[in-house]
Amino acid sequence: MSRRSRRSHVGGLGARYGRSVRRRLTRVQDEAHQRYPCPNCGSVAVERSSVGVWECRKCGNTFTGGAYSPTTKTGEVARRSTG
Ligand SMILES: [Zn+2]
């Protein structure tokens, strides 16, 4: 009778996520919960409705953006420079 060798198919995945990655995750989740100005009506009422999709509570405008923030860092800098 042959005995099947059992290979563990779990393990490794949990250990793969180190502390630094978790830290980064909490930071982006923080950003995701913030409200952002709406490109359509200008109200700071844009909330993330799902990953990459943002919705304005004021005018109902939905648009796609980053997974965790509606604008990229480059856009932020450009906006800042205009005053
Ligand atoms: Zn709006």
Cα(77) to ligand 1 centroid in Å equals 21
Euclidean distance between CA atoms 38 and 60, whole angstroms: 10
Domain limits for position 45: 34-83
Residue 58 lies in a domain: yes
Residue 75 lies in a domain: yes
Dmax (CA) for the chain in angstroms is 79
Cα(40) to ligand 1 centroid in Å equals 5
Cα(15) to ligand 1 centroid in Å equals 42
pLDDT value at residue 43: 95
Cα(32) to ligand 1 centroid in Å equals 17
Domain count, the chain: 1
Q: Check which CATH number belongs to the domain holding 44 and give it.
A: 2.20.25.30
Euclidean distance between CA atoms 3 and 56, whole angstroms: 61
pLDDT digits (tens, 9 = 90+) for 33-65: 789 999 899 999 999 888 888 999 999 999 888
pLDDT value at residue 23: 76
Residue 22 lies in a domain: no
Cα(36) to ligand 1 centroid in Å equals 10
54 exposed, middle or buried (CB, 10 Å; 0-12, 13-18, 19+)?
buried
